Amino acid sequence: MRLAVITDEIHDDLEHALRVAAELGLREVELNHLWGRSVVDLFEDELAKAERLLADGSFRVCAVGTMAFKSVLLDGLPSPEESPEFREHREWVRRGCDLAKRFGAPLVRVFSFRRSGMIGMGNPSPREPGGGSLPEEMLPKIVAGLRQAADIAGEAGVVLIVENVRSCWGNSCRNTARILEAAEHLALKAVWDPGNDYVSGGNPYPDGYEAIRPWLAHVHVKNAAVADAETGLTRWERIGAGDLDYRPMLSRLKTDKYEGAVVLETHWRGEGLTAEESSRRSFSDLRSLWDELT
């Protein structure tokens, strides 16, 4: 079990982000957006520069983050193949897998298709118990799309990880586990994101963890609080200041001998603070909890 950070949560300039990560004592990162664009959209010279910076700092890349399928609606379609956007995002998966091999990363992040009726990123939206419904008519289409993507990953020798997120069908850990169980693909695993589970209406621990555990391959940590229970409005918080207590979660991961990365995905922006300053403060909370385990 190792600590890591998503670099653009510090700064989208990779050199700057890696310098800060090194100051925090980290040598493992997840790549998502660099220099203002998704990693899958970078030019060759930018990729070569990223390789040099990572090698110079002796950094390991634990995952390549794509936005694949996060915005793809399947409503009214007989299959994902009917959507030009799906076909475009499937190429993002292929590109992400190529980059994972290039950077030596074992994992590529994807999402589980956009939920019906979702406005923006879903804040506010009702925090329905367990994340709400996952209609039977949607599940086969979600599974078909993810299996196609997982086939690409399997051929490339990497694993796709589905991140549970409020705006997608796999919003809670419960709903994400239902999707992964139906998909039954060796190259398809899960990101456990307790913060995203919580704002979706789930109970991240122990319920969310137990649901997602059979497919667990990666962990994102952020914290959140409910700002308005009536509307479902939430806000991101520092690791040590929100509604989630990460002590029992980290302790359970250690007990279960989880061997992956625990990745800070800050999201919280303190008043008057930059992304870097906010990440430093949230990481300080995480480090304190981490040190309690040793």
Q: What is the pLDDT of residue 2?
A: 97
What is the arithmetic mean of pLDDT over 205-222?
A: 98
pLDDT tens per residue, range 175-192: 999 999 999 999 999 999
The continuous run of DSSP H or E covering 37 comes out as: strand 37-38
Superfamily (CATH) of domain 11-215: Divalent-metal-dependent TIM barrel enzymes (3.20.20.150)
DSSP 115: P
Identify the CA nearest to 60 among candidates 100, 93, 97.
Answer: 100
Confidence class for position 49, pLDDT limits 50, 70, 90: very high
Q: Which residue is it, tokens 């994101």? A: 193
**Contact present, 211 and 261 (Cβ < 8 Å):** no
Q: Report percent pLDDT > 90 for the chain.
A: 99
Q: What is the pLDDT of residue 145?
A: 98
pLDDT(155) > 90 = yes
Rounded to the nearest angstrom, the gap between the alpha carbon of residue 134 and the centroid of all alpha carbons in its chain is 20
pLDDT(59) > 90 = yes
Identify the CA nearest to 238 among candidates 274, 283, 203.
Answer: 283
Confidence class for position 294, pLDDT limits 50, 70, 90: confident
**Which amino acid is it at 140?**
P
**Residue, of 294 and 210, whose pLDDT is higher:** 210
pLDDT tens per residue, range 70-91: 999 999 999 999 999 999 999 9
Q: What are phi and psi of 230, to 5 degrees?
A: -70, -40
pLDDT tens per residue, range 104-117: 999 999 999 999 99
For residues 69 and 110, what is the distance between their CA atoms, to the nearest angstrom?
Answer: 7
Confidence class for position 285, pLDDT limits 50, 70, 90: very high
Domain boundary assignment for the chain? 11-215
Average pLDDT, the chain: 97
**Contact present, 193 and 161 (Cβ < 8 Å):** no
**Which amino acid is it at 185?**
H
pLDDT tens per residue, range 129-149: 999 999 999 999 999 999 999
Helical residues (DSSP H) of the chain, grouped into ranges: 14-23, 44-56, 84-103, 139-156, 173-183, 194-200, 209-212, 246-255, 275-292
